A and B are shown apart, each in its own frame.
Chain A
Amino acid sequence: MLKISNLTVSVGKKTIVDDFSYNFEKGKIYAIMGPNGSGKSTLAFSIIGHPTYKLASKSKIMLDGKNITKLETHKRVKQGVFLTFQSPQELTGVSVYQLLRVAKDGVKDIIKMFAEVKKLAQELHISEDLLTRGLNQSASGGERKKLEVLQAIILDKKVIIFDEIDTGIDVDSLRTITKVLNKYKKDKTFILITHYNRVLKYLKPDKVLVLINGKLKKSGGHKLADLIEKQGYKNFKDNGK
């Protein structure tokens, strides 16, 4: 579904992601783990085309058979990939309804879509008020993450990358979010970027990838996450040097 080959990303002279290759399959859940600064978020941003990051010429990102490496962000998103942000932006005067309406360009039945948004908001325990005011305006960390999930599901992309969906939220919110994600995961490719094992207990990954210093160090089943919880990333680092 999402096939990344030889992805090398740099900012200025610094290489942040180093020759990353992986094929993310349809209908599976992946966890990308790694210590702070290992390049996880950069990897996510590069997949959706953040202009700050420069890709080496060999880098290639294929989405559902289409080469999206050089597309502008919104065009990649239209092809079927979505990223929930670690720190979502506040949009003054632009509600999630307004945003989704434009984002879902060409949606036939706006009323129906708004009804879906409302229903999903209830499932996520998002208050009505948060939907009508400017997106993320005076919203807590947990509310912001829930609004990201809401957008991800409504926009209904094939591949959804969740960048630290589990940080800054309490255990009830985490349960709510993962419950909803489990409900909508069918036929989707989920990529969870996380430091911790916590979220993976509610949302079982098929594969765990370990990213250290921008390199894919190891991949394995969900037991790998348990190992990391016990031992940290030290062993991987040592192996790498």
Chain B
Amino acid sequence: MANKKNLNFKQKYGFSMPKSYLFRAKKGLNKQIVESISKMKNEPSWMLDFRLKSLEIFYKKTMPTWGADLSKINFDDIYYYIKPVESQAKSWADLPSEIKDTYDRLGIPKAEKDYLSGVNAQYDSEVVYESVNKHLEKLGVIFCDMDTALKKYSKIVKEYFGTLIPAHDNKFAALNSAVWSGGSFVYVPKGIKVKMPLQAYFRINSDKFGQFERTLIIAEEGSDVHYVEGCTAPVYSSSSLHAAVVEIFVKKKAKVRYTTVQNWSSNVYNLVTKRAKAEEDAVMEWVDCNIGSCVTMKYPSIYLNGKRARGEVLSMAYAAKGQHQDAGAKIFHFAQDTTSRIISKSISRDGGRTSYRGLVQVRPGAKKSTVFVSCDALILDEKSRSDTYPTMLVKESDTHIQHEATVEKLGEDKLFYMMSRGLSRYESESMLVNGFIEPITKEIPLEYSVEMNRLIRLEMTGSVG
């Protein structure tokens, strides 16, 4: 049973390419490592200062104990920086064949050829392939990796970087701030609507290597952009750490949607801090799908700062054996007539554990705010577990709050009914699970939803077969 699952997984994700590095920092974290990362990247001195201050904060901060079990993370046993190739390739053809191979096996290039000009794909910590669509350039849209942005658009980066998620926000934000590498930078000028989703693929391809990418998105007044982040990672035996930071600024009347399909291998700690600030009449949407990793702690958050700003978090989590998905959302209503909506769907099976952890705050003066929270959990067997930790702190009386929560077990009656139509038990289970998450999957781009349905089906084979 377990073998079959591994085989499937291995075929699709569980390969590791020969590793050729230009530079790999020693295991563990200290001032010298941080200094050498900054030096390798030729960074301005303010960034080095930022990193070193963040490192101090990281040392002082305690591990969060209110959520999932993080006691097995050994910060001394992790590489904090690996530089795989000399410099960024300009086009697909320039990529080293080894890396092209990796993407080939992930099934990316052929299916995505048309998209490729918009794809910003990350190999280990360095963005090795990037070719900004000419169309985007014409519009004045900047879409590049964070390291390039720091060189070419230093002024904009300095203005926003670390202002929404400061290093002292939490221990992992501090860690990321100290050792960050890679990630995306998106700048959409005033009034520009980007029709094609901007996509980035991330991969951890080195044992015990933490990936600390840093993403910054700025959507100027009246602009519109959809950013898609899809992750797959090969299987490794020892623990890996993924601690990313994503900051998004949604200006007046702008709209940003950020979609994540996360499928880290089952040894990865996925501890990501994501936050967006929405100004007047702005719309921010997080679509967050978590399938892989051993532990995920992720609560995309939105500050509704301007009047009539709207925030939405669609969260999906799937936990199988040995997995704990602690996911949810945080929304703060600071202004009048603001609206928030949180839809969470979680599935646990084969001893997996899901937790919905949500915080909604309505601050004094945020009159006529509307809050809607709905969390549904589906538990597939007796061994599995699901918990809900919803917190609402409402300091304004003139508001409309609605909260719904359901816990459902995959009923034998439903399974029998489907089997009576000629479906096997496994087909029935995976159809019901896919049906359960359909409200979320219909929101993500087609190729991702197809992939996700397939992933879930693949995951389900493990215990049934």
Contacts and interface: CB of A to CB of B under 8 A. Distances in A.
Interface of A: 48, 50-51, 72-74, 77-78, 82-83, 85, 88-89, 91-94, 98-100, 102-105, 134, 151, 155
B436 A92 contact: yes
A91 B421 contact: no
Interface string B394-435: 000000000000000000111011111111110100011011
A85 B435 contact: no
Contacts of A83: 420
A93 B421 contact: no
A72 B427 contact: no
A34 to B, nearest CB: 22
Contact of B422 (A50, A74, A91, A93): A74
Name the residue among A73, A78, A82 with the largest chain B CB count within 10 angstroms.
A73
B420 to A, nearest CB: 6
A74 B418 CA distance: 8
Nearest to A93: B435
A120 to B, nearest CB: 16
B421 A77 contact: yes
B439 interface: yes
A93 B414 contact: no
A167 to B, nearest CB: 18
Interface of B: 412-414, 416-425, 427, 431-432, 434-439
A78 B432 CA distance: 21
B431 A85 contact: no
Name the residue among B422, B423, B436 with the largest chain A CB count within 10 angstroms.
B422
A93 B436 contact: yes
Contacts of B434: 93-94
The 7 closest A-B pairs by CB, nearest first: A93-B435, A93-B438, A94-B435, A89-B417, A77-B422, A73-B419, A103-B421
Contacts of A89: 413-414, 417-418
A83 B420 CA distance: 7
Contact of B416 (A50, A98, A99, A151): A50
Nearest to B413: A89
A77 B420 CA distance: 6
A78 B436 contact: no
Given A73-B420, A92-B432, 16 more contacts: A51-B412, A51-B416, A74-B421, A77-B419, A77-B420, A78-B422, A85-B417, A85-B420, A89-B417, A89-B418, A91-B414, A91-B417, A93-B435, A94-B434, A94-B435, A134-B435
A102 B427 CA distance: 8
A99 B157 CA distance: 51
Given A99-B421, A103-B421, A94 B427 contact: no
B437 to A, nearest CB: 8
B431 A99 contact: yes
Name the residue among A72, A78, A85, A94 with the largest chain B CB count within 10 angstroms.
A94
A155 B421 contact: yes
20 contacts: A74-B419, A74-B423, A74-B425, A77-B421, A89-B413, A91-B414, A91-B418, A91-B431, A91-B432, A92-B432, A92-B436, A92-B438, A93-B435, A93-B437, A94-B432, A99-B418, A100-B421, A102-B423, A103-B422, A155-B421
B461 to A, nearest CB: 15
Nearest to B412: A51
A218 to B, nearest CB: 29
Contacts of B438: 92-93
Contacts of B424: 72, 74
B417 A155 contact: no
B420 A94 contact: no
Contacts of B425: 72, 74
A155 B438 CA distance: 25
Name the residue among B412, B418, B421, B439 with the largest chain A CB count within 10 angstroms.
B421
Given A50-B416, A73-B416, A102-B427, A92 B435 contact: yes
A51 B425 CA distance: 12
Contacts of B418: 89, 91, 99
Contacts of A91: 414, 417-418, 431-432, 435
A237 to B, nearest CB: 31
B407 to A, nearest CB: 14
Contacts of B417: 85, 88-89, 91
A151 B432 CA distance: 18
Nearest to A85: B417
A50 B415 CA distance: 11
B420 A48 contact: yes
Name the residue among A50, A83, A93 with the largest chain B CB count within 10 angstroms.
A93
A145 to B, nearest CB: 14
A74 B413 CA distance: 14
A83 B419 CA distance: 11
Contacts of A99: 418, 421, 423, 431
A48 B419 CA distance: 10
Nearest to B414: A89
Contacts of A77: 419-422
A82 B421 CA distance: 7
A104 B423 CA distance: 9
A104 B438 CA distance: 22
B431 A102 contact: yes
B409 to A, nearest CB: 13
Contacts of A102: 423, 427, 431
Name the residue among B412, B413, B417, B425 with the largest chain A CB count within 10 angstroms.
B417
A48 B421 CA distance: 10
Contacts of A72: 419, 424-425
Contacts of A103: 421-423
Nearest to A79: B422
A135 to B, nearest CB: 9
B416 to A, nearest CB: 6
A91 B414 CA distance: 7
Nearest to A83: B420
A147 B414 CA distance: 16
Contacts of B435: 91-94, 98, 134
Name the residue among A74, A82, A105 with the largest chain B CB count within 10 angstroms.
A74
A1 B399 CA distance: 66
Contacts of A92: 432, 435-436, 438
B250 to A, nearest CB: 30
Contacts of A50: 416
